[in-house]
Structure 1
Amino acid sequence: MEFRIERSVLTEAVVWAARSLPARSPVPVLGGLLLDAREGRLRISGFDYETSAAIEVEAETPVAGRVLVLGRRLLDICKVLPDATVVCALEGARFTVEGGGTRFGLSTLPTQEYPTLPELPATHGTVDAAEFADAVARVVIAAGRDDALPVLTGIGLRLADDGTMTLAASDRYRYAVVKVGWKPEAPAAGDGTVDIVVPGRRLTEISRSLAKSGTVRIGLSDSRTPGPSGTSTGGLIAFEGTGMRTTLRLLEGRLPRYDKLFALDAPTIAVTPREALADAVRRVAVVAEPNSPVRLGFSARGTVLLQAGYEDDIASQQLTATLTGAEDLAVAFNPAYLLEALNSFDAPHIRFELLGPGQRALLSGVPDEKDTSGGGTTTGEDHRHLLMSVRQLS
C-alpha cells in the first residue's frame, strides 16, 4: 500500500473521520481509523458501533491497499506535519508517514478484527447544509448534559412530508425549537411524519462539518423496532454530503411535547433590543454569585431595569422596552441561560411572553422595527425559546 496526498487534504479528512472515535474503548481496534487507497481515491473511516464516519478524497495511489492505525495518533501527526506533499506507505507491519523531510512510523492494528461499517440507509430527504447547521446550533444550547438522562442530551428531529423539519432540545429548564424547510423524497409511514431523537453533541459536530456541502442527504433505516414503552430502538440516521458520510444510532425515547408548554394563557408582552439586552445581561452578571439570577423589571413607562447582585456588590442598567398587558412586571432568569437564549437569535429585537415570576417565559425574534409594539399577531414562529423564570427575585 502506498499513496501520496497534500498535507492539508489528509488532515481535513482525518479530522472528519476521527469524530467517530470513542474517547475510551476497551476494544483497541475501535480507536483505529481504516485507510483504504485505490483507484486514485483515499477513503478514511471510523466506527465505534454508535457512530460511523467515512470520507473520500483524491490521492495518488500507486499501490492499492488498506491499513488500520490508531486514529488519534494519526491526527496528532497530521497536525504537526510540514505543509507539503505527504507520502504514506505500509512497510511490513509499520505504516510510515513522510513529508517535508519529516518521517513517522506507526504500528498497525489487525484489519480483520475491525467491524464492518453499517450501510447507508435509504435517502429520506435533503436539507440545505448551512441552514441545517445553523438550526442545530440554535437548539443544542438547550440540550441536557446529564448522561443519566440520555434522551434529554439529544436533539429531536421531526420530519414532516409537508416540507417542514422541526429541531428541538430541552434540559427541563429550557426548551428551544427551530423550524426549517427540507425536501422529503421518501414518504413516511402513518401520518407522514417521523419523530426521532439524535445525539446532540454528535449532531452538532456533523452539521458544522457539513455546513459548506451545499445540500445534505438524510437517510433513515427501517430497522427500528418498537420497545416495551412504545419507543424505537436500533434505528440509524445518516448524513451525507461532498464525499463525507456518517451514521448515528438514534436515542431511545421522545422529548416532552412543547406545543402545550409554548401555549401561554394571556401573557404580558415585552419587547426590547436584543443585542443591547445581551450586553446588559453580560455586564450586570459580573457581580452575580453562582446560580443567582438577573432581575428584569419591565415598566409601562417604556424601560426595563436589569439588576444583579446582593448587599454591597450590585449592578444595574436600564434599557428601552415596550410592555403590553400589564402596568409593571418583574421577572428573573439564570443569566447564563438568558444570555445563551438571546445569542441564539439574529433578530434586532426580542419579544418576551411573560406569565410572572417562577413561571414560563417564551422568547421569539422580532425582525422589523415596525413590529416592536408587542401587539398583534405572534412573530418568530420558526424559532422560539422557552425559559423558566426564577421565583425568588431578591
Structure 2
Amino acid sequence: MEFQVERAVFAEAVGWAARALPTRTPVPVLGGLLLETGAGLLTVAGFDFEAASRVEVDAETSGTGRVLVLGRRLLDICKVLPDGPVSCAVEGTRFTVEAGGTRFGLSTLPYEEYPALPVPPAPYGGVDAGAFATAVGQVAVAAGRDETLPVLTGIQLRLDGGMMTLSASDRYRYAVRRLEWKPESTAADGPVEALLPARRLLDVTRSLARCGAVRIGLDGGGLLGFEGGRTQTVLRRLEGRLPAYGALFDMAGAAVAEVEREALAEAVRRVAVVAETNSPVRLDFTAGEGVLLRAGYGDDVAAQRLPARLSGAEEVTTAFNPAYLLDALNSFETPGLRLELLGQGQRALLSAAGDTGPSGAHRHLLMSVRQLL
C-alpha cells in the first residue's frame, strides 16, 4: 500500500476522522485510524462505537490496501510535516510518512481486531450547513455536563414536516431553536425524534458549517448520519428523551422587558467581576427607569444602570447565575432582546425582540435564583 497526497489535504482528513477517536479506551484498536486506498482515492476513518467519521480525498495511489495506525500519533505527525507532497507506505508492520526530507515510522495495529464501521443511514433530508451549525451552537450551551445524567447531556432533534426543532436542558435552563429543513419525499409522515450527544453534534456541525448543505440520514435503529461534501459522520442516539417544555414556556402573567442584548451582556460581565462563586447578578427593572444590575456583597459591590422598557408591571426583580445568563445572552444574534419575567425565584424566558409567537425561532428559559443582594 502506497499513496501520495498534499500535506494540507492529508492533515485535514486525519483531523476530521480523529474527531471520532475516544479520549481513553480499554480497546487499543479503537485508538486507531483506518486508512484505505482505492483508484485515486484515500479514505480515512475513525470509530469509537458512539461515533464514526469517514472522509475521502484525492490521492495518487498504487492499487488498493488498508492499514490501521495510532490516530493521535498520526495527527501529531501531520501537524509538523512541511508543506508539499506527503508520501506514505506500508513496509511490513510499519507505516511510513515522508515529506520534505523528514521521515516518520509508525507501528501498525491489527486490522482484524478492528470493529466493522457502521453503514451510514439512508438520506432523510437536508439542511443549510451554516444555519444548522448556528442552531446547534445556540442550544448546546444549555446541555448538561454531568455524565451520570446522560439524557441531560444531549440535544433533542425533532423533524416534523419542513421544520426542525433542537432543544437542550440541564434542569436550570432550557434552550429551544427552530429552523427550516428539506425532508426527502420518502420521509415518514409523522414527526421523528432523536436524542444525540450535544458535544458530538456540536463538533460535527461546526466542522460541516462551510459545506453548503448537510444531508441527514436515519435508520430504524439507533443511528443518525450527517454528510457534507465528502465527509460522513454517524452518531449513536442516547437512550431516553428530554422532559417536555410546553408548560415551562407558558409565561402567562409575566412582565415583559426589552433591552439591548450586547449592552446587557457587557454590563453583566462588568458587574460580575465582584461576584463570588455561585453568587448571582441581580436585575431590578422599573418602568420608566430602565434596569439596575448589581453584584457582590458588603463593600465589594458593583452596579450599572441600562435603558430598558418594562410593560405588564411597575417593577420586577430577578437574579441569575452570571455564567448562565451570559451563555443565554450570547446565544442570540439579534440586537434586541425580550425577557418575560415572573419574578424572584421563578422562570424567565428570553427571545429575540419582535419574535413574540408561541413557537419563536430561538427561546432560552432560565431559572432565577432566590438569593438576592
TM-score, shorter chain, exceeding 0.5 = yes
Aligned-partner Cα distance in 1 for 2:359–2:264? 18
Q: Is the 8 A contact 2:125 2:187 kept in 1?
A: no
Q: Is the 8 A contact 1:358 1:390 kept in 2?
A: yes
Q: Which residue of 1 aligns with 2:85?
A: 85
Q: Deviations over 1:341-374 (max 9, x none)?
A: 001111111110001100000000116xxx9xxx
Q: How does 1:119-158 map to 2 (within 5 A)?
A: 119-158=119-158
Q: Percent identity?
A: 64
Q: Which residue of 2 aligns with 1:160?
A: 160
Aligned-partner Cα distance in 2 for 1:14–1:111? 18
Aligned-partner Cα distance in 2 for 1:207–1:320? 37
Q: Which residue of 2 aligns with 1:355?
A: 342
Aligned residues: 373
Q: Is the 8 A contact 2:3 2:87 kept in 1?
A: yes
Q: Is the 8 A contact 1:81 1:99 kept in 2?
A: yes
Q: Which residue of 1 aligns with 2:212?
A: 214
5+ residue gaps, structure 1: 224-234, 372-376
Q: Which residue of 2 aligns with 1:171?
A: 170
Q: Deviations over 1:65-107 (max 9, x none)?
A: 1110000000000001111210001111100000011110000
Q: Deviations over 1:252-300 (max 9, x none)?
A: 0010111111011211000111000000000000000000000001011
Q: Which residue of 2 aligns with 1:24?
A: 24
Aligned-partner Cα distance in 2 for 1:390–1:187? 47
Aligned-partner Cα distance in 2 for 1:142–1:300? 30
Deviation at 1:378, TM superposition (A): 4.4
Secondary structure at the counterpart of residue 44 of structure 2: strand
Q: Deviations over 1:283-335 (max 9, x none)?
A: 00000000000000101123100000000110011100000011111110000
Q: Is the 8 A contact 1:364 1:380 kept in 2?
A: no
Aligned-partner Cα distance in 2 for 1:331–1:49? 44
Q: How does 1:264-275 map to 2 (within 5 A)?
A: 264-275=251-262
Q: Is the 8 A contact 1:358 1:388 kept in 2?
A: yes
Q: Which residue of 2 aligns with 1:181?
A: 180
Aligned-partner Cα distance in 1 for 2:164–2:227? 17
Q: Deviations over 1:99-148 (max 9, x none)?
A: 01111000001111111111111111111111000000000000000000
RMSD (CA atoms): 1.3
Q: Which residue of 2 aligns with 1:12?
A: 12
Deviation at 1:187, TM superposition (A): 5.1
Q: Is the 8 A contact 1:13 1:55 kept in 2?
A: yes
Aligned-partner Cα distance in 1 for 2:268–2:71? 42
Q: Which residue of 1 aligns with 2:243?
A: 256
Secondary structure at the counterpart of residue 142 of structure 2: coil
Q: Which residue of 2 aligns with 1:392?
A: 371
Aligned-partner Cα distance in 1 for 2:359–2:120? 36
Deviation at 1:64, TM superposition (A): 2.8
Query: Equivalent of 1:201, from 199, 213, 230?
Result: 199
Q: Which residue of 2 aligns with 1:106?
A: 106
Change (3 A) 1:393 1:187: farther
Q: Which residue of 2 aligns with 1:278?
A: 265
Secondary structure at the counterpart of residue 291 of structure 1: coil
Q: Deviations over 1:143-197 (max 9, x none)?
A: 0000001010000000002x000000000000000001001115555x6101110
Secondary structure at the counterpart of residue 176 of structure 1: strand
Secondary structure at the counterpart of residue 301 of structure 1: coil
Matched, 1:96 2:96: yes
Secondary structure at the counterpart of residue 345 of structure 2: coil
Q: Is the 8 A contact 1:364 1:379 kept in 2?
A: no
Aligned-partner Cα distance in 2 for 1:351–1:296? 14
Aligned-partner Cα distance in 2 for 1:346–1:328? 27
Secondary structure at the counterpart of residue 261 of structure 1: coil
Aligned-partner Cα distance in 1 for 2:168–2:347? 16
TM-score calculated relative to the size of structure 2: 0.98
Aligned-partner Cα distance in 2 for 1:260–1:77? 53
Q: Is the 8 A contact 1:365 1:379 kept in 2?
A: no
Aligned-partner Cα distance in 2 for 1:147–1:49? 17
Deviation at 1:62, TM superposition (A): 2.3
Q: How does 1:25-44 map to 2 (within 5 A)?
A: 25-44=25-44
Q: Is the 8 A contact 1:366 1:380 kept in 2?
A: no
TM-score calculated relative to the size of structure 1: 0.93
Q: Is the 8 A contact 2:294 2:302 kept in 1?
A: yes
Q: Which residue of 1 aligns with 2:52?
A: 52
Give the letter for the 1:21 counterpart.
L
Give the letter for the 1:168 counterpart.
S
Give the letter for the 2:175 counterpart.
A
Q: Which residue of 2 aligns with 1:232?
A: none
Aligned-partner Cα distance in 2 for 1:197–1:219? 14
